[in-house]
Structure 1
Amino acid sequence: MSHQPDPLGDLDGDVYVSPRHLASTTGTGDPALAPLLDLGWDLRYDEDSNVYMSAPDRRVRLGYLPEGDDDGLWRINAYKDSFGPPVWGVCFNDRVPTEFVQAFTTVLATAYEQGPDAYLARPVAGTDEHDPFLAIVPLLKQGWEIDRPRWDVIAVHAPDGLAGMEFTAGDLDSEAELTTRAARWQLWAGKSVDRPTWYATASTDTPVALLAAVTECVADPAPLPRWREATFSYIKDMAQLTPILPPGSTAPTPLDVRRTTASRRPAALPAASVPRWSTTSPPALPGPRR
């Protein structure tokens, strides 16, 4: 069963948000949990209503943590040894559009059914299927531009300058990759990479297919449906909101969305100079706790 988001199908909202990277969370984790629940993954709650899921072999674990210690709402780790350290880890913060997390868990479910060679597949530069830079191809196809903000970072930025993805080269601290934003990959949206509205991180050995599932969803030019009154569900004053028309009316096309977005494109943003902050450091959180 496919759980890919269909923003033009069963609508849940009264406006379209475009570009979709300026949408925010839908406020429910159910769509992103569904692909794994369909495989019979174990689901448990704690007394604070945090959700914990484990694959049948305990080699992949997911935490949905609305009452966690920081803004890392989604944490997903994979293991070669169920009692050893994680091989890779991914984090989505509490403002990431739910559709992007759902895209990840949908492909993760497929990879898990294929076996460890799929969900533990290490990125290998220069290979046809596992080259890490294949993760940015969907973004480049939609006009995102390559940048080199530092000698050790390759970045791509959305045409409106309000989203980006970074790849950091060189040796990284494996523990810091799992607990802070100092990870191999970082995807973000907002006015600045240093103070993003939402972000997602992925550690060094995260399979390319899982990363590409997210970037393909981010790059999709179709808008996302949201409720206008729920201001947390889009990036206020930056997103373009278009009313969802009644049945029988014509919904905005991707071309309509691109034209509107182009007309609102801001001037180039100044280079950021604020140091990165850790997701484990509460004083540096970009917004109020959930």
Structure 2
Amino acid sequence: MFQPLAELPPPALGEREWLLECHCARPVTDLLKAQGWDVVADLDCNVHCSSPDRRVYVGLLPESQEAARGELWHIHVTDNSGTRTWRQTFGADTPAQAIAGFLAALIAFPARYCTCA
């Protein structure tokens, strides 16, 4: 019998399965494609994603110099003038599902300003 998530008891911490691995781009690219983003892979196996308004870039860059320093995933957000306002990187040890969750939260809050300010 199906129970809504809110009605399911939380698993005991010892029984919980935490995200440990998924190093392919699919959880991220599937999410972004479903939101209308452009997703392109280049000949070097890098994956480049752009939001519909071109203000957010997500890149999986395994062949970059940054990847050699541990920065595999790159997220850049720009303002209306094209100036980068903030960035976030994730290493190869971060599961792709966690990156997809980060991006899902970013997409879920489209307002520019925080309501607590």
Same fold (TM over 0.5): yes
Match of 1:39 in 2: 35
Q: Which residue of 2 aligns with 1:201?
A: none
d(CA) in 1 for partners of 2:55 and 2:30?
18
Retained in 1: the 8 A contact 2:29–2:39? no
Kindly tell me: are residues 35 and 82 of structure 1, through their superposed partners in 2, closer, same or farther at Cα, counting changes over 3 Å? farther
TM-score (norm 1): 0.31
1:26 to 4, 8, 22: 22
Higher relative contact order (CA 8 A, sep 6+): 1
- Pick closer, same or farther for the CA change 1:94–1:56 going to 2, 3 Å: same
**1:73 CA drift (Å):** 1.4
Percentage of identical aligned residues: 29
Alpha-carbon spacing, 1:82–1:75, altered in 2? closer, same or farther (3 Å):
farther
Partner residue of 1:108 out of 106, 109, 116: 106
Q: 1:99 to 1:43 in 2, by over 3 A?
A: closer
Q: In 1, are the aligned partners of 2:72 and 2:89 still within 8 Å (CA)? A: yes
Q: Give the count of matched residue pairs.
A: 100
* Cα pair 1:36 1:109 within 8 Å, conserved: no
Q: Which residue of 2 aligns with 1:80?
A: 79
| Aligned residue number for residue 49 of structure 2 | 53
Using the alignment, how far apart are the partners of 1:47 and 1:34 within structure 2? 20
1:246-261 correspondence to structure 2 within 5 Å: none
> Residue 81 of structure 1 aligns to which amino acid in structure 2?
N
RMSD of Structure 2 on Structure 1 (CA): 2.5
Question: Shift of residue 19 of structure 1?
Answer: 6.7
For residues 49-104 of structure 1, what are the alpha-carbon distances to aligned partners after superposition, in whole Å with 9 as ceiling and x for unaligned?
101111121111111112221221111111113532x1111111111122211211
Contact 1:77-1:90 at 8 Å conserved across structures: yes
1:210-266 superposed Cα distances (whole Å, 9 cap, x missing partner): xxxxxxxxxxxxxxxxxxxxxxxxxxxxxxxxxxxxxxxxxxxxxxxxxxxxxxxxx
Write out per-residue CA displacement over residues 150-197 of structure 1, whole angstroms, 9 at most, x where no aligned residue: xxxxxxxxxxxxxxxxxxxxxxxxxxxxxxxxxxxxxxxxxxxxxxxx
SS of 1:87 mapped into structure 2: strand
Kept in 2: contact 1:53–1:63 (CA 8 A)? yes
- Quick one: distance in 2 between partners of 1:82 and 1:45? 26
Which 5+ residue runs of structure 1 have no aligned equivalent? 1-16, 131-290
Larger radius of gyration: 1
Structure 2 equivalent of residue 11 of structure 1? none
The answer as to whether partners of 1:33 and 1:105 remain within 8 angstroms in 2 is no
Contact persistence 2:45–2:63 (CA under 8 A) = yes
Deviations 1:113-170 (A, max 9, x none): x4xxx2x335x8xx3xx6xxxxxxxxxxxxxxxxxxxxxxxxxxxxxxxxxxxxxxxx
Calculate the TM-score normalised by the size of structure 2. 0.71
Q: 1:144 aligns to what?
A: none
1:66 maps to: 62
In structure 2, do the counterparts of structure 1 residues 18 and 68 end up closer, same or farther at CA, with 3 Å as the change threshold? farther
Q: Is the 8 A contact 1:76 1:90 kept in 2?
A: yes
Q: Distance in 2 between matches of 1:34 and 1:110?
A: 16
CA distances 1:193-216 after superposition (whole Å, capped 9, x unpaired): xxxxxxxxxxxxxxxxxxxxxxxx
